[in-house]
Amino acid sequence: MRHILLLLTLTFTSQLYAADGKLLATPGISQIEGAGGGGFVPWAQLAGYGSRDEIAANVFCSGANVDDYDLHVCGAQATFYDRVEFSVAKQKFHVDALNLNIKQHVLGVKARLYGDIVYSRFPQISLGIQHKKLDDPTVAYLLGADEDSGTDVYLAASKLHLGAIGGYNWLWNITARSTEANQTGLLGFGSAERGNQREIVLEASTAILFGRHLALGVEYRQKPDNLGLKEDDWSNVFVAWFPNKVISLTAAWLDLGEIAGAKNQKGAYFSVTGYF
């Protein structure tokens, strides 16, 4: 909670210096691995409101609480001239049954390859990389993981259609990810039994923007299954509020399915992002 209060204070005191070269809400929010986009899914658009003449920096904190687990993430992004985005995130995953925390660091980079989500005829296309490293891989190794670090590579396509549905703007994104991560890396990477077998998984988001400030949408994320433990796909329904180009607030209802043998993991998610 103190991280969120500090973030809010920094955000509002820096309002005069915020980048503002894009339409309100078009950068999205902050993804749990640090990239700009949705809560689960990295989108093709780069973080922040910086135009091709500006540098943008953002900070965020997110929290998810489901039946048997909690996830807390804080991080930051920097985008240079709407061409390349760098991100960092620190995740803390609490396992209620064992009363322990699993911590992971994520470093990311994303480059815009083509287009603009609003102004180009075809979708914006971006290529991203996320390198993940566990602080302590003990739990991952006990469950049969092969490595304590790994790198995801993804290709994302995003497009915003102005006035497309009942006069409201409609956003969609599709991401293809190459990964060997178990539960996004929180349970390690690959399988000691089967080795590091990369898998291509699909992720998608869509949202309707009701006016300039409010978005309602859904997300879906496929998951690989390396450990022999059932790893269900993830989904959520979210609402995001963009009062201005300085801050966004997001709430969601999560359905994470089965995680490490614990079934029906459902619960709430909240995130705040400050844009500079």
**Percent of the residues in the chain that have a pLDDT greater than 70, as a whole number:** 93
Kindly report the pTM of this predicted structure.
Answer: 0.92
Q: Which two tokens stand for residue 154?
A: 């993804």
Domain 2-275 falls in which CATH fold? Answer: Porin (2.40.160)
Beta-carbon contacts of residue 178 (< 8 Å; ≥ 6 apart): 152, 153, 154, 198, 199, 200
Secondary structure element (H or E) that encloses residue 123, with its range: none
Q: Which of 109, 64, 127 is nearest to 269 (CA)?
A: 64
Q: For 160-176, what is each residue's pLDDT tens digit?
A: 999 999 999 999 999 99
* Greatest Cα-to-Cα distance within the chain, rounded to the nearest angstrom: 55
Report pLDDT for 9. Answer: 46
Q: For 113-161, what is each residue's pLDDT tens digit?
A: 999 999 999 999 999 999 999 999 999 999 999 999 999 999 999 999 9
Q: For 6-27, what is each residue's pLDDT tens digit?
A: 455 444 444 545 677 789 999 9
Q: Which of 254, 195, 191, 247 is nearest to 220 (CA)?
A: 254
User: CA-to-CA distance for 190 and 96, rounded, in angstroms?
Assistant: 24
Least confident of 13-27, 53-67, 95-109, 140-154: 13-27
